[in-house]
Amino acid sequence: MEKKTDEQLIHIINKQSRKSELAFAELMNRYSERLYWHVRKIVINHDSADDVSQNVWLKVFQNLSSFRNDSKFYTWLYRIGTNEALSHIQKEKRNVAEDYEVYENYLANTLESDDWFQGDEIQKKLQEAILKLPEKQRVVFNLKYFEEMKYQDMAEVLDTSVGALKASYHHAVKKIEELLKVELI
């Protein structure tokens, strides 16, 4: 059986044929794990990442007919995922603390106590350093470093210029280097 492209699956879903559910399930199977880990790197907590990911798939299902195919499906999916994750963080900040530093400590404690975190001490230090970045730099760093996403795709996901992304990534790397130097000395 020939594997269908994203465009073919979306076409089947939008036709609302009896194969629509199977086509949507195929898209979910193709991208669920990547989406989860993308969201997880933003919200840190497993349960939050799970909730956000489910919300993303619900939004995708509800809005797939408006997808215009002028970008790749996964960049559209990541854009929705990024926006949902950042919205979740804003909501959490209001519930946990108004002060970003207090929220940053809350995330670091969440990372430490999370049963799903499987990194060693160095990985934990890296994640803690990433948490200290401003949100935009954190998202850019995660997309480039962990997802190995091309700048052009990141520009579509984050709706910004390639130059701005390169600058954000550069600043993020420099801040992480400085934070790790302090931590590891």
How do residues 168-184 score in pLDDT, each as one tens digit?
Answer: 999 999 999 998 888 66
How many residues are present in the chain? 185
Average per-residue pLDDT in the chain?
86
Pick the CATH number of 120-185 from 1.20.59.10, 3.90.1480.20, 1.10.4080.10, 1.10.10.10: 1.10.10.10
Q: What is the pLDDT of residue 104?
A: 61
Distance CA 80, CA 60 (A): 8
Closest C-alpha to 183, from 123, 138, 141 = 123
Q: What is the pLDDT of residue 132?
A: 87
| Contact call for residues 61 and 24 (beta carbons, < 8 A) | yes
Residue 50: band (very low, low, confident or very high) from pLDDT cuts 50, 70, 90: very high
| Contact call for residues 41 and 146 (beta carbons, < 8 A) | yes
Whether the full predicted model's pTM is greater than 0.85, yes or no, is no
The domain spans of the chain are 1-118, 120-185
How do residues 84-136 score in pLDDT, each as one tens digit?
Answer: 999 998 888 777 655 556 666 666 666 555 555 555 677 778 888 888 899 89
Q: Look at the block and give the residue holding tokens 């350093």.
A: 129
Fold of 1-118: Rna Polymerase Sigma Factor; Chain: A (1.10.1740)
As separate numbers, helices (DSSP H) first and strands (DSSP E) second, the chain gives: 9, 0
